[in-house]
Structure formats: C-alpha cells, structure tokens
C-alpha cells in the first residue's frame, strides 16, 4: 500500500488557489485512473485504487494546510505505512511555473503543509513538487499562494496535472526519475518549457 497525499486548503474559496495544486494533481490522478468514490476518512477525503499494479490510497486532508500532518499520520498509522510509502504532491515557489521535480526528504522551504507532515511522520517521504513561481518578494508569498491561478496560467496548470496523472503509475512503481522525465518531455511537446531543460533525477 502506498499513500498519495495532495496538499491544499479545503473549501470552495480555495479551489483555484496556487496553494491547492497538490489537491488538483491528486484529483486528476483519481479521474485519469477512474478511482472512485471519494469518502470522508482520515480527517479529509480519500479513495483507494490500483496504480501500476500497486494499491494506493489517495488522500486530500480536510484540515487546513498547516495541519496537514494530522491527516497523513492518521492514514499512515491505519495502514502501518513507513515514510518510504508516502508521496506528497505540493506547490513549490522555488520552481518556475509549469516545472515538476521529484525528491525524497530535504527541507520544507517555508511550506507549512510539509512542515506539519514532517513534524508528524519525519522528513524522508517523497515529494512531487509542482512549480508555481515566486512573486519576487517574501512579503507577497502568502497572498500569492492563496490567490487563484491567473487565467493565462490555466493551460499549463491543466496540462501539468493531466500529464502527471497519466504517468502516476510510474510513481507507484518507484520509478521517480522516469516519471519526472516523461512529464518534462510531454510538457515540452505541448509547448511548455524547452527541450534542452532536461531535469536531472532529484534536482
């Protein structure tokens, strides 16, 4: 069993926020692989299904971002999962918009969702980082992440979530570098990014 966690804030007013791209990505996985129905579990909503021959629980914490670790820890305890079986999908200020990187462990870079999860289960879980860019001023970070994506962002946001979802079985199989590179090449093919920007594993 693996646990795929999308990070975001609950409620209608947050649905389109930059901070909620983790929710968007995990919801896209459920749609692409016809994993349903979502049910209220583990202080959020969850659904269980198969990806790449692996059983996976998709979880969207219903706590606010800074308490995400409570839901993750509850699900991990229930299924007796170690951190190596947990994959967290989240927004990343330090990556340009439309970029995706996968890494294991590392710092939390001020991300309250990651900080909460690390406090509850440790730091060495896998992270799928969705670049949203940086507003350029640290004082603008909170309003930036809690604001909806701009209209001209929608094409790359939808493409990135859809492509990540299509290739999610690779993550379930532990083939993180292959997943990362396939997403990159597919985004380039759709006109987002440059072919010579091939990401390095764990970059």
pLDDT tens track for 164-188: 999 999 999 999 999 999 999 999 9
CATH code, domain with 151? 3.40.50.1470
What was the pLDDT predicted at 109?
77
| Sequential DSSP letters for 28-93 | HHHHHTT----EEETTEEEEEEEETTEEEEEEEESS-GGGHHHHHHHHHHHHT--GGGEEEEEEET
Domain count, the chain: 1
Global confidence as pTM:
0.94
Residue 145 lies in a domain: yes
Give the Cα separation of 112 and 67 in Å (integer): 8
Catalytic positions, written as ranges: 19
Residue 203 lies in a domain: no
Return the DSSP state at 116: H
What was the pLDDT predicted at 203?
43
What was the pLDDT predicted at 74?
97
Residue 200 lies in a domain: no
pLDDT tens track for 186-201: 999 999 976 655 555 5
Check whether 47 has a pLDDT greater than 50: yes
Give the Cα separation of 40 and 50 in Å (integer): 19
pLDDT tier, 107 (very low <50, low <70, confident <90, very high otherwise): confident
Residue 202 lies in a domain: no
Q: In the structure encoding, which two tokens stand for residue 176, read together?
A: 């993180």
Residue 201 lies in a domain: no
What was the pLDDT predicted at 193?
73
Check whether 135 has a pLDDT greater than 90: yes
How many DSSP H helices and E strands does the chain contain? 7, 7
Residue 17 lies in a domain: yes
Tokens 């093919």, residue?
A: 189
Residue 159 lies in a domain: yes
Residue 47 lies in a domain: yes
What was the pLDDT predicted at 201?
52
pLDDT tier, 110 (very low <50, low <70, confident <90, very high otherwise): confident
Percentage with pLDDT > 70 across the chain: 95
Task: Kindly report the average pLDDT of the chain as a whole number.
Answer: 94
Domain of 14 in residue numbering reads as 2-189
Give the Cα separation of 34 and 92 in Å (integer): 27
């Amino acid at each position: 069993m693996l646990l795929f966690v999308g990070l975001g804030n609950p409620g209608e007013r947050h649905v389109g926020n930059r901070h909620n791209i983790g929710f968007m990505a995990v919801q896209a996985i459920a749609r692409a692989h016809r994993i349903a129905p979502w049910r209220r579990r583990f202080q959020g909503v969850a659904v269980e299904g198969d990806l790449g021959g692996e059983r996976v629980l998709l979880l969207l914490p219903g706590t606010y971002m800074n308490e995400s670790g409570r839901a993750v820890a509850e699900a991990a305890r229930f299924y007796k999962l170690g951190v190596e079986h947990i994959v967290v999908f989240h927004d990343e200020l330090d990556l340009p918009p439309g970029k995706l990187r996968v890494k294991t462990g590392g710092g939390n870079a001020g991300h309250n969702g990651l900080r909460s999860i690390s406090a509850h289960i440790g730091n060495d879980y896998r992270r799928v980082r969705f670049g949203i860019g940086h507003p350029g001023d640290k004082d603008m970070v909170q309003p930036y992440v809690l604001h909806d994506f701009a209209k001209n962002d929608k094409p790359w946001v939808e493409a990135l979530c859809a492509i990540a979802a299509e290739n999610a079985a690779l993550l379930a199989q532990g083939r993180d570098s292959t997943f990362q590179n396939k997403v990159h090449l597919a985004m380039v093919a759709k006109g987002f990014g440059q072919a010579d920007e091939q990401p390095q594993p764990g970059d």
